Amino acid sequence: SAKRTAQKNYCFFDPALHESLKKRFEIESQLKDAINKREIVTYFQPQVTANGELQGVEALVRWNHPDKRLVSPIEFVAVAEEIGVIDSLQRVVMEDCCALFRTLQSQGRLTPNFRVSINMSAIQFRNVNLSEDLTQLFLQEGVAPSFITLELTESMLVEEIDGAIKQMQALKAKGFRLSIDDFGTGYSSLAYLQTFPIDELKIDKSFLDKMDSANIGTGIIDTIITLAEHLNFEVVAEGVEHQGQLDYLRQKHITAMQGYFFARPMPAESLYEWIEDDLDNIY
Ligand code: C2E
Ligand code: MG
Ligand code: MG
Ligand code: MG
Protein backbone atom coordinates (compact mmCIF):
# COMPACT_ATOMS: atom_id res chain seq x y z
CA SER A 1 0.00 0.00 0.00
CA ALA A 2 0.95 3.64 -0.29
CA LYS A 3 1.33 3.87 3.46
CA ARG A 4 3.80 1.01 3.53
CA THR A 5 5.88 2.50 0.78
CA ALA A 6 5.98 5.80 2.62
CA GLN A 7 7.12 4.04 5.77
CA LYS A 8 9.79 2.15 3.90
CA ASN A 9 11.16 5.33 2.42
CA TYR A 10 11.39 6.98 5.80
CA CYS A 11 14.96 7.86 6.43
CA PHE A 12 16.69 8.93 9.64
CA PHE A 13 19.30 10.82 7.72
CA ASP A 14 17.32 13.73 6.32
CA PRO A 15 19.49 15.46 3.71
CA ALA A 16 17.46 18.68 3.88
CA LEU A 17 17.83 18.87 7.66
CA HIS A 18 21.51 18.00 7.38
CA GLU A 19 21.98 20.80 4.86
CA SER A 20 20.22 23.37 7.06
CA LEU A 21 22.20 22.33 10.17
CA LYS A 22 25.43 22.57 8.19
CA LYS A 23 24.51 26.03 6.95
CA ARG A 24 23.56 27.10 10.44
CA PHE A 25 26.88 25.81 11.83
CA GLU A 26 28.79 27.74 9.16
CA ILE A 27 26.94 30.94 9.99
CA GLU A 28 27.57 30.45 13.71
CA SER A 29 31.26 29.85 13.27
CA GLN A 30 31.88 32.70 10.80
CA LEU A 31 29.58 35.48 11.99
CA LYS A 32 31.78 36.91 14.74
CA ASP A 33 34.73 37.22 12.36
CA ALA A 34 32.47 38.65 9.69
CA ILE A 35 31.53 41.53 12.00
CA ASN A 36 35.19 42.26 12.78
CA LYS A 37 36.18 41.97 9.12
CA ARG A 38 33.48 44.43 8.08
CA GLU A 39 31.66 41.90 5.92
CA ILE A 40 28.45 43.10 7.55
CA VAL A 41 27.07 45.93 5.45
CA THR A 42 23.99 48.09 5.69
CA TYR A 43 21.58 48.52 2.80
CA PHE A 44 19.00 51.28 2.68
CA GLN A 45 15.47 51.23 1.29
CA PRO A 46 13.78 54.57 0.53
CA GLN A 47 10.54 55.54 2.23
CA VAL A 48 8.44 57.81 0.07
CA THR A 49 5.60 60.09 1.18
CA ALA A 50 2.19 60.27 -0.45
CA ASN A 51 3.49 63.41 -2.25
CA GLY A 52 6.42 61.56 -3.75
CA GLU A 53 9.03 63.05 -1.46
CA LEU A 54 11.78 61.12 0.24
CA GLN A 55 10.82 60.79 3.89
CA GLY A 56 13.80 58.68 4.83
CA VAL A 57 15.20 55.19 4.57
CA GLU A 58 15.07 51.92 6.47
CA ALA A 59 18.43 50.38 7.31
CA LEU A 60 18.50 46.66 6.44
CA VAL A 61 21.56 44.66 7.32
CA ARG A 62 23.30 42.25 4.91
CA TRP A 63 26.24 39.88 5.12
CA ASN A 64 28.55 40.29 2.19
CA HIS A 65 30.07 36.81 2.44
CA PRO A 66 33.40 36.54 0.58
CA ASP A 67 32.62 33.24 -1.14
CA LYS A 68 28.85 33.31 -1.12
CA ARG A 69 26.03 35.54 -2.13
CA LEU A 70 24.68 38.35 0.01
CA VAL A 71 23.29 36.58 3.08
CA SER A 72 19.83 37.70 4.29
CA PRO A 73 19.30 39.00 7.84
CA ILE A 74 16.66 36.30 8.23
CA GLU A 75 19.55 33.81 8.22
CA PHE A 76 21.86 35.52 10.69
CA VAL A 77 20.17 38.09 12.99
CA ALA A 78 18.71 35.37 15.26
CA VAL A 79 22.07 33.59 15.26
CA ALA A 80 23.79 36.84 16.27
CA GLU A 81 21.36 37.08 19.19
CA GLU A 82 22.03 33.49 20.27
CA ILE A 83 25.82 33.64 20.14
CA GLY A 84 25.97 37.02 21.87
CA VAL A 85 27.22 39.28 19.06
CA ILE A 86 24.00 41.18 18.34
CA ASP A 87 25.25 44.36 20.04
CA SER A 88 28.29 44.59 17.79
CA LEU A 89 26.14 43.81 14.75
CA GLN A 90 23.66 46.56 15.64
CA ARG A 91 26.57 48.91 16.23
CA VAL A 92 27.82 48.36 12.67
CA VAL A 93 24.34 49.20 11.37
CA MET A 94 24.08 52.35 13.51
CA GLU A 95 27.54 53.54 12.48
CA ASP A 96 26.67 52.97 8.82
CA CYS A 97 23.53 55.07 9.38
CA CYS A 98 25.64 57.88 10.83
CA ALA A 99 27.99 57.70 7.85
CA LEU A 100 24.95 58.00 5.57
CA PHE A 101 23.87 61.17 7.40
CA ARG A 102 27.33 62.69 7.06
CA THR A 103 27.47 61.98 3.33
CA LEU A 104 23.95 63.26 2.67
CA GLN A 105 24.78 66.39 4.62
CA SER A 106 28.02 66.98 2.71
CA GLN A 107 26.10 66.51 -0.55
CA GLY A 108 23.53 69.06 0.57
CA ARG A 109 20.79 66.44 0.41
CA LEU A 110 19.92 66.20 4.08
CA THR A 111 16.47 67.68 4.54
CA PRO A 112 15.46 68.63 8.12
CA ASN A 113 12.82 65.88 8.27
CA PHE A 114 14.95 63.09 6.84
CA ARG A 115 14.73 59.95 8.98
CA VAL A 116 16.58 56.71 9.22
CA SER A 117 14.69 53.70 10.60
CA ILE A 118 16.67 51.04 12.43
CA ASN A 119 15.38 47.58 13.35
CA MET A 120 15.97 46.88 17.03
CA SER A 121 16.78 43.47 18.42
CA ALA A 122 14.73 42.15 21.34
CA ILE A 123 17.97 41.60 23.26
CA GLN A 124 19.04 45.19 22.72
CA PHE A 125 15.61 46.39 23.83
CA ARG A 126 16.06 44.64 27.21
CA ASN A 127 19.24 46.61 28.01
CA VAL A 128 18.40 48.97 30.89
CA ASN A 129 21.00 51.47 29.66
CA LEU A 130 19.71 51.41 26.07
CA SER A 131 18.56 55.03 25.87
CA GLU A 132 21.87 56.32 27.29
CA ASP A 133 23.98 53.98 25.14
CA LEU A 134 22.18 54.92 21.92
CA THR A 135 22.20 58.63 22.69
CA GLN A 136 25.92 58.55 23.38
CA LEU A 137 26.63 56.66 20.16
CA PHE A 138 24.59 58.99 17.95
CA LEU A 139 25.70 62.24 19.56
CA GLN A 140 29.34 61.15 19.28
CA GLU A 141 28.74 60.73 15.57
CA GLY A 142 27.00 64.08 15.35
CA VAL A 143 23.50 62.72 14.72
CA ALA A 144 20.56 64.01 16.78
CA PRO A 145 18.27 61.20 18.04
CA SER A 146 15.28 62.96 16.47
CA PHE A 147 16.57 61.83 13.05
CA ILE A 148 16.39 58.20 14.15
CA THR A 149 13.30 55.99 14.18
CA LEU A 150 13.69 52.81 16.21
CA GLU A 151 11.58 49.95 14.86
CA LEU A 152 10.23 47.69 17.59
CA THR A 153 8.05 44.61 17.16
CA GLU A 154 4.90 43.74 19.04
CA SER A 155 6.57 40.73 20.67
CA MET A 156 9.16 43.00 22.33
CA LEU A 157 6.38 45.16 23.75
CA VAL A 158 4.02 42.52 25.11
CA GLU A 159 6.66 40.32 26.73
CA GLU A 160 6.93 42.52 29.82
CA ILE A 161 4.69 45.50 29.31
CA ASP A 162 5.66 47.77 32.23
CA GLY A 163 9.36 47.40 31.47
CA ALA A 164 8.68 47.99 27.78
CA ILE A 165 6.76 51.20 28.48
CA LYS A 166 9.58 52.48 30.71
CA GLN A 167 12.09 51.67 27.99
CA MET A 168 10.00 53.45 25.35
CA GLN A 169 9.57 56.50 27.60
CA ALA A 170 13.32 56.66 28.21
CA LEU A 171 13.99 56.53 24.45
CA LYS A 172 11.34 59.16 23.73
CA ALA A 173 12.84 61.41 26.42
CA LYS A 174 16.13 61.33 24.50
CA GLY A 175 14.32 62.33 21.32
CA PHE A 176 14.18 59.07 19.35
CA ARG A 177 11.12 58.31 17.22
CA LEU A 178 9.49 54.93 17.84
CA SER A 179 7.72 52.68 15.38
CA ILE A 180 5.95 49.32 15.67
CA ASP A 181 7.16 47.15 12.80
CA ASP A 182 5.09 44.42 11.13
CA PHE A 183 2.04 45.81 12.89
CA GLY A 184 -0.94 43.49 12.89
CA THR A 185 1.03 40.26 12.89
CA GLY A 186 1.60 40.16 16.66
CA TYR A 187 -0.51 40.32 19.75
CA SER A 188 -0.43 43.86 21.07
CA SER A 189 -3.71 44.70 22.72
CA LEU A 190 -5.54 47.82 21.65
CA ALA A 191 -5.86 48.90 25.29
CA TYR A 192 -2.09 49.01 25.64
CA LEU A 193 -1.47 50.47 22.25
CA GLN A 194 -2.84 53.82 23.34
CA THR A 195 -0.51 53.90 26.35
CA PHE A 196 2.59 53.26 24.19
CA PRO A 197 4.57 56.46 23.51
CA ILE A 198 5.11 55.61 19.86
CA ASP A 199 5.05 57.71 16.71
CA GLU A 200 4.35 55.26 13.92
CA LEU A 201 2.82 51.96 12.89
CA LYS A 202 4.24 49.96 10.01
CA ILE A 203 1.68 47.90 8.15
CA ASP A 204 3.14 44.47 7.47
CA LYS A 205 3.75 43.45 3.87
CA SER A 206 1.47 40.42 4.26
CA PHE A 207 -1.56 42.75 4.39
CA LEU A 208 -0.51 44.48 1.19
CA ASP A 209 -0.06 41.10 -0.48
CA LYS A 210 -3.69 40.30 0.38
CA MET A 211 -5.05 43.57 -1.06
CA ASP A 212 -5.83 41.92 -4.37
CA SER A 213 -7.75 38.97 -3.00
CA ALA A 214 -11.48 39.72 -3.11
CA ASN A 215 -12.43 38.10 0.21
CA ILE A 216 -9.81 39.88 2.31
CA GLY A 217 -9.08 43.00 0.32
CA THR A 218 -8.14 46.19 2.09
CA GLY A 219 -10.11 45.66 5.32
CA ILE A 220 -7.16 45.27 7.66
CA ILE A 221 -5.19 48.07 6.01
CA ASP A 222 -8.17 50.43 6.35
CA THR A 223 -8.54 49.42 9.99
CA ILE A 224 -4.88 50.06 10.82
CA ILE A 225 -4.95 53.45 9.10
CA THR A 226 -8.11 54.46 10.98
CA LEU A 227 -6.67 53.22 14.26
CA ALA A 228 -3.48 55.20 13.65
CA GLU A 229 -5.50 58.34 12.90
CA HIS A 230 -7.40 57.98 16.16
CA LEU A 231 -4.26 57.44 18.18
CA ASN A 232 -2.34 60.16 16.35
CA PHE A 233 0.30 57.82 14.93
CA GLU A 234 1.85 58.06 11.51
CA VAL A 235 1.46 55.02 9.24
CA VAL A 236 4.05 53.52 6.92
CA ALA A 237 3.25 50.68 4.52
CA GLU A 238 5.94 48.15 3.63
CA GLY A 239 6.02 45.91 0.57
CA VAL A 240 4.40 48.21 -2.01
CA GLU A 241 5.00 46.38 -5.27
CA HIS A 242 2.55 47.80 -7.78
CA GLN A 243 0.70 50.91 -8.86
CA GLY A 244 -2.68 49.75 -7.55
CA GLN A 245 -1.37 49.54 -4.00
CA LEU A 246 0.28 52.93 -4.32
CA ASP A 247 -2.88 54.61 -5.61
CA TYR A 248 -4.99 53.08 -2.88
CA LEU A 249 -2.61 54.04 -0.06
CA ARG A 250 -2.20 57.62 -1.32
CA GLN A 251 -5.94 58.06 -1.41
CA LYS A 252 -6.06 56.79 2.19
CA HIS A 253 -3.51 59.45 3.21
CA ILE A 254 -0.80 57.04 4.24
CA THR A 255 2.22 58.87 5.71
CA ALA A 256 4.86 56.97 3.75
CA MET A 257 5.47 53.83 1.72
CA GLN A 258 8.36 51.57 0.93
CA GLY A 259 8.58 48.66 -1.46
CA TYR A 260 10.07 47.28 -4.64
CA PHE A 261 7.72 49.51 -6.64
CA PHE A 262 9.93 52.44 -5.59
CA ALA A 263 13.25 50.77 -4.89
CA ARG A 264 14.84 47.69 -3.38
CA PRO A 265 17.20 48.02 -0.44
CA MET A 266 20.57 49.16 -1.80
CA PRO A 267 24.07 50.12 -0.66
CA ALA A 268 24.64 53.76 0.31
CA GLU A 269 26.48 54.62 -2.93
CA SER A 270 23.50 53.42 -4.98
CA LEU A 271 21.13 55.38 -2.77
CA TYR A 272 22.93 58.63 -3.58
CA GLU A 273 22.52 57.87 -7.29
CA TRP A 274 18.89 56.88 -6.80
CA ILE A 275 18.14 60.19 -5.09
CA GLU A 276 19.92 62.02 -7.91
CA ASP A 277 18.46 60.11 -10.87
CA ASP A 278 15.22 58.37 -9.93
CA LEU A 279 13.51 60.13 -7.05
CA ASP A 280 11.95 62.85 -9.19
CA ASN A 281 10.35 60.30 -11.50
CA ILE A 282 8.87 57.81 -9.08
CA TYR A 283 5.35 58.97 -9.88
P1 C2E B 1 11.43 44.20 8.19
O2 C2E B 1 12.02 45.14 9.14
O3 C2E B 1 9.97 44.01 8.22
O4 C2E B 1 11.94 44.71 6.77
C5 C2E B 1 11.18 44.67 5.61
C6 C2E B 1 11.63 43.53 4.72
O7 C2E B 1 10.81 43.52 3.56
C8 C2E B 1 13.06 43.66 4.22
O9 C2E B 1 13.61 42.35 4.09
C10 C2E B 1 12.86 44.29 2.84
O11 C2E B 1 13.93 44.04 1.96
C12 C2E B 1 11.61 43.58 2.41
N13 C2E B 1 10.85 44.34 1.41
C14 C2E B 1 10.64 45.68 1.35
N15 C2E B 1 9.84 46.01 0.31
C16 C2E B 1 9.52 44.83 -0.29
C17 C2E B 1 8.70 44.51 -1.44
O18 C2E B 1 8.11 45.36 -2.10
N19 C2E B 1 8.62 43.19 -1.75
C20 C2E B 1 9.26 42.21 -1.04
N21 C2E B 1 9.11 40.94 -1.43
N22 C2E B 1 10.02 42.49 0.05
C23 C2E B 1 10.14 43.78 0.41
P24 C2E B 1 15.09 42.01 4.58
O25 C2E B 1 16.00 43.13 4.25
O26 C2E B 1 15.42 40.64 4.08
O27 C2E B 1 14.94 41.98 6.16
C28 C2E B 1 14.19 40.97 6.78
C29 C2E B 1 14.03 41.25 8.25
O30 C2E B 1 15.28 41.15 8.93
C31 C2E B 1 13.53 42.66 8.56
O32 C2E B 1 12.13 42.74 8.35
C33 C2E B 1 13.94 42.79 10.01
O34 C2E B 1 13.01 42.16 10.85
C35 C2E B 1 15.24 42.00 10.04
N36 C2E B 1 16.38 42.95 9.98
C37 C2E B 1 16.90 43.56 8.89
N38 C2E B 1 17.92 44.38 9.25
C39 C2E B 1 18.04 44.29 10.60
C40 C2E B 1 18.92 44.89 11.58
O41 C2E B 1 19.79 45.73 11.28
N42 C2E B 1 18.74 44.51 12.87
C43 C2E B 1 17.77 43.62 13.25
N44 C2E B 1 17.67 43.32 14.56
N45 C2E B 1 16.94 43.04 12.37
C46 C2E B 1 17.07 43.36 11.06
MG1 MG C 1 11.69 46.95 9.77
MG1 MG D 1 8.63 45.56 8.67
MG1 MG E 1 8.08 42.69 7.66
| Interval 52-66: pLDDT, tens | 999 999 999 999 998
Q: Is residue 282 exposed (0-12), middle (13-18) or buried (19+ Cβ within 10 Å)?
A: middle
Task: Give the pairing type, strands 54-64 and 234-238.
Answer: unpaired
Query: Mutation test of ligand 1: which of 181, 208, 238 has the most ligand atoms closer than 8 Å to its C-beta?
Result: 238
Q: What is the ipTM of this complex?
A: 0.98
101 C-alpha to center of ligand 1: Å?
21
| Interval 168-211: pLDDT, tens | 999 999 999 999 999 999 887 888 899 999 999 999 999 999 98
Query: Mutation test of ligand 1: which of 42, 60, 62, 126 has the most ligand atoms closer than 8 Å to its C-beta?
Result: 60
| Interval 59-108: pLDDT, tens | 999 999 987 789 999 999 999 999 999 999 999 999 999 999 999 999 99
Q: Is residue 22 exposed (0-12), middle (13-18) or buried (19+ Cβ within 10 Å)?
A: exposed
12 C-alpha to center of ligand 2: Å?
38
**Could you give the CA distance from residue 110 to residue 238 in angstroms, rounded to a whole number?**
23
